[in-house]
Amino acid sequence: MIRYQERSPSRRSWLVLLTICVVAWVGLALKSWVLATILVGMLGGIAAITMWSTGFYGNIRLTDSDLRVGRARIKLADLYPWGVSQPGEKIEGRIIGGAYGSTLGSHVIGLSPRQGAPMLVQTKDPDALRAALEKALAPYRDAS
Domain that holds residue 126: 64-143
pLDDT at 79: 93
Mean pLDDT across the stretch 130-136?
94
Average of per-residue pLDDT values in the chain: 90
- C-alpha distance from residue 144 to each of 13, 82, 83, 93, 111 (Å): 43, 10, 13, 24, 17
pLDDT for 27-80, tens place per residue? 999 999 999 999 999 999 999 999 998 888 889 999 999 999 988 999 999 999
Least confident stretch, 11-15, 71-75, 77-81, 140-144: 140-144
The verdict on 133 and 71 lying in the same domain is yes
The verdict on 35 and 80 lying in the same domain is no
Amino acid at 123: T
- Helix 11-29 / helix 33-58 crossing angle, nearest 10 deg: 170
Mean pLDDT across the stretch 90-101?
83
Q: Which of 42, 57, 72 is the last residue of a domain?
A: 57
Q: Indicate the Cα dihedral angle 85, 91, 97, 99, nearest 10°.
A: 150
Q: Which of 40, 57, 74 is the last residue of a domain?
A: 57
pLDDT at 92: 86
pTM of the model: 0.78
